[in-house]
Structure 1
Amino acid sequence: MSLKINIRHQAGTLDLQAQFKVEQPGITALFGPSGSGKTTLINAIAGLIKPDSGTLTINDSTVFDSATKTHMSPRKRRVGYVFQDARLFPHLTVRKNLFFAHRRATNRLPENQVDAIIAMLGIGDLLSRRPAKLSGGERQRVSLGRALLGNPDILLLDEPLSALDQARKEEILPYLEALRDQRRLPILYVSHSIDEVARLADHIVVMDKGRVRASGSVFDILARTDLAPLTGQFDAGAVIPATVTGHDPKGGISYLGCAGHQLIVPLLPSANTTTTHASTIPQQTRLHIRARDVMIATSIPDGISANNILPATIAALTPVGTGNIEAALHLGHAAKGRILTTPVIQARITNWSALRLSLEVGQQVYAVIKSVTVDGKLRDTDA
């Protein structure tokens, strides 16, 4: 499954010029400030607007080509679209909303897959209700189900959590994770929340003023200090892979391994609370460590509550904003002249702190991270 985009479109003051590829299943986040062209782009992919020029290809099928005057209708594109406000038919039950798309699909899903999607989204008990009787989170889950039952080649999610409060967001996020890990199809996820992107996305396309400013894996893009103005200066940080090694339910913590080092995080939600070892649960996780939550010490601190004190080597020191420095830290101590390939975390400190500690690139230091500030989410081992 693949998506290839090379289009230009003028919409008011927005001059959209987008060119990138999505060539594997998983979630690709379209991320950027309001007005950067994210929604305009996915509307073009869905066929809701006709670009001024360029080409759009879904699964080797050209759905738009200005040179040949090709513009396939939205229905023929096999695109699933979930809007911010769910847009369910208010006069239909949940069951009829779901099967509205299923009945019109050009390639209908078999009954066992329909049942699996309903079970995955936890909406089996809602089938007889009407949308007015659903919570915001339930409506979005039904909207996801309706899109999936259309058996799309690609799924477009336009800020599906933006209209929900934090409690409803936490309700639906696990279902989006299940969707990512269980359904093997490309997903474009529009968001302006760095926390959502760090938790859900495999790849990121960063947009600003109608242009693609950067694209790549979530691990690489969120580690780039030069993108801080676009990725959100005060929420920027790193996403790094780790392996679950154990749990301590009594202490309320989980143990993770990353690049040969142990990290302690709050007890993972899916942890087996009857055992302290990790053999019975998924092993892989990703961590979102915010730059603002990392301190730098030039020697191992003593007598502090922070559980994570990791050896690190300064890879870069970059001025950010007024009076701040973004320090890129490779995990581990590198001998002089040796280049590390370990994961990079970010630390945001003041200029004064950098001067006071005489920090410089290549210096061996310690990254101090409070356990409660680290976001860790389990992922299936085959995801």
Structure 2
Amino acid sequence: MTLSVRLSRAAGFPIDVAFEADGGVTALFGRSGAGKSTLIAMLAGLERADCGHVSVGGRVLYDSAKGIDVAPHARRTPVVFQDGRLFPHLSVAGNLAFAQRFGGGKPAALGPIVDLLGIGHLMRRRPGGLSGGEKQRVAIARALASSPDLLMLDEPLAALDEARKAEILPYLERLRTEAGLPMIYVSHAVSEVARLADRVVMLQGGRSVAAGPVTEVFADAATAAIMGPRDAGAILEGTIALHRPDDGLTEVALSSTRLSLPLVDAPVGTRVRMRLRATDIIVAVGATEGLSTHNVMPATVAFVREGEGPGALVGLECGADRLIARLTQRSVRTLGLAPGVACAAVLKAIAVPPEDVTVLS
């Protein structure tokens, strides 16, 4: 189901955004104040644009040229906020039943939704007796119960501690795989986007500065600079080729090489996604014998972007895969790194923690 968005506004918080997505999860990513929540409000019909067009699966929700502006309650684009916003006087079952009334004439079957989010044992309880993670799972279930055409999640994990985030992320991964509807996921957390998103729309100052597959956008020089030195890095996808349980390692086949990671609990042939942080990549020119790691990937420098301080971002092409390394500008000069220079990307296997590896299929 294709989502098409083109919106602009000059008054208030300026917005100028355009992107398309064909199902799956589209992440709206950017620093605080980038315009993520404002855009969500526009898509939901809670804030107005000056001009543009929004459609989901060919159903037009907004078209300034044709005078179409579907009311928020009729858009079938529910938003799950970070605080859940459940009705406190209703049980979990009551919250879901209320949402069913807004199903556009096609009430959702609750059984699969309850099973998907693991909330069957919570149905008689009220929101006041739920943990933060349980409230968010119920809030997502309530949104699904309204038979949406598009599900939007506005930083749903922002108010949770790390333990609760770890609890709910697997459910969000199941939702991505099994729900079968387009989703927009708002976040400024790279770890969440890396695990969940198929595509990314990078926002800065209310403008979409990049949009595309997550593996391409995160490896781009401009977007890496927006993310900052701590979060910059690449996302790669590969296939599990071999397990080495005696060594505690799994080998993942990439486009032109293999990458050793801590043991991944998935069978050979499974597709996985890995987040490789720029600060963990070492660049070598010349001989690479005598290293303690087996992850030495032949590469070619794609770009060098110097920062205002002592650091620089170096883009690397390893076959069809793209990496980013964060080095000092001194190292860049010493190694003679420039676009087209042949080198090697070096990565310790233990530099990729389990939370940075996502099983896709």
Aligned residue in 1 for 2:150: 154
Q: Percent identity?
A: 41
Aligned residue in 1 for 2:221: 225
Structure 1 residues 103 and 246: alpha-carbon distance in aligned structure 2, compared to 1, 3 A threshold: farther
Aligned residue in 1 for 2:337: 359
Distance 2:10 2:333 in 1: 47
SS in 1 for 2:309: coil
Distance 1:329 1:19 in 2: 28
- What is the aligned-residue RMSD (CA, Å)? 2.0
- What's the offset of the Cα at 1:219? 1.0
SS in 2 for 1:163: coil
Aligned residue in 2 for 1:70: 68
TM-score normalised by length of structure 1? 0.87
Structure 1 residues 82 and 197: alpha-carbon distance in aligned structure 2, compared to 1, 3 A threshold: same
Aligned residue in 2 for 1:177: 173
SS in 2 for 1:6: strand
Aligned residue in 2 for 1:8: 8
Distance 1:11 1:108 in 2: 38
* Aligned partner (choices 301, 307, 327) of residue 314 of structure 2: 327
Aligned residue in 1 for 2:239: 243
AA aligned to 1:306 is T
**Contact preservation (8 Å) 1:244, 1:255:** yes
**Contact preservation (8 Å) 1:325, 1:351:** yes
Matched, 1:284 2:278: no
Structure 1 residues 303 and 213: alpha-carbon distance in aligned structure 2, compared to 1, 3 A threshold: same
* Aligned partner (choices 94, 97, 101) of residue 95 of structure 2: 97
**Contact preservation (8 Å) 1:228, 1:236:** yes
Distance 1:305 1:171 in 2: 35
Listed one character per residue, the Cα deviations across residues 7-35 of structure 1 (whole Å, up to 9, x for unaligned) are 223453x211222222x110111111222
Point out where structure 1 has 5 or more consecutive residues left out of the alignment: 272-277, 332-340
SS in 2 for 1:329: strand
Matched, 1:21 2:20: yes
AA aligned to 2:359 is L
Distance 1:73 1:110 in 2: 21
- What's the offset of the Cα at 1:249? 4.3
SS in 1 for 2:93: helix
Distance 1:19 1:363 in 2: 35
| Alignment map for 1:123-162 (pairs within 5 Å) | 123-162=119-158
AA aligned to 1:44 is M
AA aligned to 1:349 is L
TM-score normalised by length of structure 2? 0.92
**Contact preservation (8 Å) 1:310, 1:367:** yes
Matched, 1:50 2:31: no
Distance 2:314 2:216 in 1: 15
Aligned residue in 2 for 1:258: 254
* Aligned partner (choices 180, 184, 208) of residue 212 of structure 1: 208
Worse-superposed segment, 92-101 or 358-367? 358-367
Distance 1:316 1:52 in 2: 38
- What's the offset of the Cα at 1:162? 0.8
Aligned residue in 2 for 1:85: 83
Aligned residue in 1 for 2:347: 369
Aligned residue in 1 for 2:28: 30
- What's the offset of the Cα at 1:154? 0.5
Worse-superposed segment, 156-165 or 311-320? 311-320
Distance 1:127 1:286 in 2: 34
AA aligned to 1:373 is A
Point out where structure 2 has 5 or more consecutive residues left out of the alignment: none
Listed one character per residue, the Cα deviations across residues 239-290 of structure 1 (whole Å, up to 9, x for unaligned) are 111101233445433221112422111222x43xxxxxx34xx610111111
Listed one character per residue, the Cα deviations across residues 186-217 of structure 1 (whole Å, up to 9, x for unaligned) are 11111111221122111111111111111111
- What's the offset of the Cα at 1:81? 1.3
AA aligned to 1:15 is P
Distance 2:336 2:191 in 1: 32
Aligned residue in 2 for 1:334: none
Structure 1 residues 70 and 326: alpha-carbon distance in aligned structure 2, compared to 1, 3 A threshold: same
SS in 1 for 2:253: strand
SS in 2 for 1:312: strand
Worse-superposed segment, 299-308 or 72-81? 299-308
SS in 2 for 1:213: strand
- What's the offset of the Cα at 1:311? 2.1
- What's the offset of the Cα at 1:109? 4.7
Structure 1 residues 149 and 170: alpha-carbon distance in aligned structure 2, compared to 1, 3 A threshold: same
Distance 1:132 1:364 in 2: 59
Worse-superposed segment, 179-188 or 299-308? 299-308
Distance 2:257 2:79 in 1: 42
